Structure 1
Amino acid sequence: MGQSVQLIRRPDTVDAVVTRMRGLAAGLPERDGIAVFNRVYLAVTEEAGRRPAAGRFTGARAAATLDVRFTERYLTAVDPAAQERHAPACWRPLLQSRRHPGVRPLQFALAGVNAHVGHDLALAVVDTCAALECEPADLEGDFERVGDLLAALEERVREDLMPGPDLLRIADPLTHLLGAWSLEQARDAAWSAARALWALRRLPDVAEDFTRRLDAAVGFAGRMMLTPLPA
């Protein structure tokens, strides 16, 4: 396949990934858009790490592999050492708007969730299938577990960053942005994309084109989510 769907070969464990997320948090200003997303993602990941989890295929090994592949794609995209133009299209809007004063913290966080679910999750499933020599169907239980984590992440985002009811009026543009994106639909689309990419693995040109278009579509949605809003 093309570069965008190759295995991430770093031999990281879940603990090592969490350590890298903590290091990222320590090096960013609090209001930075990446910091806003990373802070919530780290809190949910640490909480989930305290609970045992196993899928239907190879138990802890499959769960850990999918977790690492998934989070690694995010960390690689936002790595401060990487030049912005090398980031996937889905992460570029957040990287480019991360310090914009007209973008609210809730927008930063949801744009991160959009990129991570809409693009990274599908490719992480493909990475994991290649690493474990299994089929996407074998990872369905682990995919659902990651979906539960993402639901907790979205809930945490809304709890921590949602304006109070006195500020979030029906006419507020943020209200419309929130209603235009669905985590459930994004998860379903990611699963369909993962299955399609796995089926296309012997057609690398087609798989690369599919991945590029997926990346661009998710990036377009992210750019809309980061539209600067009046205070």
Structure 2
Amino acid sequence: MAQCEQFTTAVDAVISRMRALDATLPERDGVAVFNRVYLTVTEEVDRHIDGARFPDARAAITLDVRFAERYLAAVAAEDGRRPPACWRPLFQMRRHPGVRPLQFALAGINAHIGHDLALAVVDACRSLGCEPGELEDEFDRVGDLLVSLEERVREDLMPGPDLLQIADPLTHLLGSWSLERARDATWAAARALWALRRLPDVAEEFTERLDAAVGFAGRMLLTPLAD
């Protein structure tokens, strides 16, 4: 029980950091838009953990915390070090008046799922001393939560009837990206990175290519649609 409480505290700690970040950012800021979405996801995962809805709570908590730490490190890097390529479009466009809140939210989801989650699976496997296949149930359950929340995000942030002039191109743009496809690609990337762990040069090149590709998709999602 003491071990479970220790891990739960780690989840509470990342939730606390996201809440603190939310309190410091302007509401319309692109990072703030994504942060609110991700905070909701993390709180939902935490409730599932508390409700014993994960077969292996320790594995779920470890994956959740390693996942969140990747995002929080990227935000912290913006103040000094160069953040990963997947996050740069959101950081660069976060105050652009022609980018809609839904675009900010999905660009953040794209960066976090497409790049960070694959690395978080590897991080968690190293921490737990297990293979990626042993985390597949936790990966799938977290992914299912993300899919349901993505649907809610699209409903909540889609422009209303008074903004139909931008809703049409927005619908077309966002229809080119799928969380389901991104999640499938991420699981394949995580397994590949784990298989390459004894080939550090190849693993580093693979990670860099993955980072760049996800960043390219994020830049597309953030195409300004109005001035």
Task: Give TM-score, length-normalised by structure 1.
Answer: 0.88
Change in Cα spacing, 1:145 to 1:120, as seen in structure 2 (3 Å) is same
Alignment of 1:76-225 (within 5 A): 76-79=73-76, 82-83=79-80, 86-164=82-160, 167-168=163-164, 172-225=168-221
Give SS of 2:65's match.
helix
Q: Give yes or no for contact 1:37–1:112 (8 Å, CA) kept in 2.
A: yes
Question: 1:164 Cα shift?
Answer: 2.7
Provide the C-alpha distance between the structure 1 equivalents of 2:54 and 2:196, rounded to a whole number of angstroms.
24
Give runs of ≥4 in structure 1 deviating > 4 Å: 53-56, 168-171
The number of aligned residues is 218
1:66 matched to 2:55? no
Provide the C-alpha distance between the structure 1 equivalents of 2:178 and 2:222, rounded to a whole number of angstroms.
16
Percent pairwise identity: 76
- Write 1 or 2 for the structure with the bigger share of helix: 2
Question: 1:169 Cα shift?
Answer: 6.4
Change in Cα spacing, 1:223 to 1:203, as seen in structure 2 (3 Å) is same
Q: Give yes or no for contact 1:168–1:175 (8 Å, CA) kept in 2.
A: no
Alignment correspondent of 2:5: none
Alignment correspondent of 2:20: 23
Change in Cα spacing, 1:102 to 1:171, as seen in structure 2 (3 Å) is closer
* Counterpart selection for 1:41 from 29, 38, 41: 38
Question: 1:47 Cα shift?
Answer: 3.1
Task: Give TM-score, length-normalised by structure 2.
Answer: 0.90
> CA offsets, 1:73-99, max 9 Å, x none?
01110127732x521000000001000
RMSD between aligned residues:
2.0
> CA offsets, 1:45-64, max 9 Å, x none?
223322335555xx111010
Alignment correspondent of 1:7: none
| 1:211 partner amino acid | T
Structure 1 gap segments, 5+ residues each: 1-11
Question: 1:170 Cα shift?
Answer: 9.4
Q: Give yes or no for contact 2:159–2:167 (8 Å, CA) kept in 1.
A: no
Provide the C-alpha distance between the structure 2 equivalents of 1:142 and 1:188, rounded to a whole number of angstroms.
14
> CA offsets, 1:111-136, max 9 Å, x none?
00000100011000000011111000
Provide the C-alpha distance between the structure 2 equivalents of 1:184 and 1:55, rounded to a whole number of angstroms.
21
